[in-house]
Amino acid sequence: MFCRALARQGSYFKKSLPREIFFNLTVISLIFLFGISIAGFGFQSDLTAAVKDKISPQDLFVKPVKNFVRESPKMIITQENSLIGVSPPEAVTPQVLGSVLGGIEIDSEAGNNIVEYIVESGDTLSSVASKFEISIETILWANDLTSKSVIRPGQKLIILPVSGVLYHIKKGDTLSEIAQTYKGKVSEIISSNGLSGEGDIFIGDILIIPNGKMPAVSRSSSYTYIPIGSSYFICPHSACRITQGLHWYNAIDFGGKCGDPIYAAAGGIVQRVMYGWNGGAGNYITILHPNGVVTMYGHIQASLIVQGQEVSQGEIIALMGGKPGTPGAGISTGCHVHFDVRGAKNPFAK
């Protein structure tokens, strides 16, 4: 419309004014239009620069981006309000858990530097006790043996790092009562087991009682197994591929790739979510199920649940870890989940 008005105006002036005046007005109008165009372009450029400076990629989404993994440090958001450290998923060929060195199979799940010793030819209870600098009674108590028991080559023995008693926490237990019964000290139990305090115990925990003694009238330090159906638990990994059979403690290893999802074998309440070395156990989770059985998931890369949370069977609770040298892998030779059942038979044991 501006151009049309200008044309009409030009036609009028052409008739009423000399040609020189009409020409000058036309030139002035063109210069005016050109100036407006340049100003508009400059304004648009400034606006574009401002947008680039102020708007981040996440602002381009209608909703905030969730579970955004940063390059460094590597973090992931859980429960929409907590940050945890994770390692990037990597494909690693699964290998059997543990290291076998001179007949000693290192237990990487106990969290207390407990080992499984494979009896060799010529071994006796006395010689094994001497080799590990612990009392013979400690070996007998940890393996439900008596002074008349005979060990044979190939047999596995649970070896504690110090002389004492291995104890399984039951409902209603307190550290003060346990220490009194087994002649131990509360402070030593807390220190040896990496506990935060006297109340930091849960059903299914396995504790070392340094210098403890088995009472004359024994209060059993091991579980009475709860009968469960073979279908009570589901595989904690979708492939359900066993890479190591039954080993300490009542555990089966399932291989996969680091970063694979780990599932709750049954519904229950999360008791512990532990990060760090943990005596070689690495990162792990324990879940208490309604029937009193506890399951433990070891060598995880990251937990997707928190202590006290209720989980359902099949819910994703963690990411598989275990790659040697990565944070929280513990003592491990490859990506896998250590599935430990406390209080019942492990249904995946062959």
Give CATH 3.10.350.10 domain extents, the chain: 100-210
Q: Classify domain 242-342 at the CATH topology level.
A: Glucose Permease (Domain IIA) (2.70.70)
- Coil vs helix vs strand at 49: helix
Q: Which helix (H) or strand (E) holds 247?
A: strand 242-247
* Residue 36 identity: I
Average pLDDT for residues 11-36, to the nearest whole number? Answer: 54
- What pLDDT digit, counting tens, does each position of 75-91 carry? 343 333 444 444 333 33
- Coil vs helix vs strand at 321: strand
- What pLDDT digit, counting tens, does each position of 235-249 carry? 999 999 999 999 888
Distance CA 114, CA 112 (A): 5
Q: What percent of the chain has pLDDT over 70?
A: 65
Give CATH 2.70.70.10 domain extents, the chain: 242-342
Distance CA 313, CA 262 (A): 11
- Coil vs helix vs strand at 209: strand
Burial call 249-271: b when 16+ CB within 10 Å, e when fewer: bbbbbbbbbbbbebbbbbebebb
Q: Are 309 and 270 in contact (CB under 8 A)?
A: yes
- What pLDDT digit, counting tens, does each position of 288-311 carry? 999 999 999 999 999 999 999 999
Question: CA-CA distances (angstroms) from residue 314 to 158, 232, 234, 311?
Answer: 32, 12, 8, 9
The band of 24, judged by pLDDT with boundaries at 50, 70 and 90, is low
Give the dihedral of Cα atoms 177, 181, 187, 192; nearest 10 deg.
-110
Residues 6+ apart with CB under 8 A from 310: 267, 268, 269, 270
Superfamily of domain 100-210 in the CATH hierarchy: LysM domain (3.10.350.10)
Q: Are 222 and 75 in contact (CB under 8 A)?
A: no
Q: Is 119 exposed, middle or buried (0-12, 13-18, 19+ CB in 10 A)?
A: middle
Average pLDDT for residues 48-52, to the nearest whole number? Answer: 38
* Residue 269 identity: I
Distance CA 285, CA 259 (A): 16
* Residue 310 identity: E
Tell me what the pLDDT averaged over the chain comes to.
76
Distance CA 87, CA 328 (A): 9
Q: In the prediction, which pLDDT does 228 show?
A: 87
- What pLDDT digit, counting tens, does each position of 97-119 carry? 222 233 444 444 444 578 889 99
Using the predicted structure, report yes or no on whether residue 2 has a pLDDT greater than 80: no
Distance CA 217, CA 338 (A): 35
**0.75 exceeded by the pTM?**
no
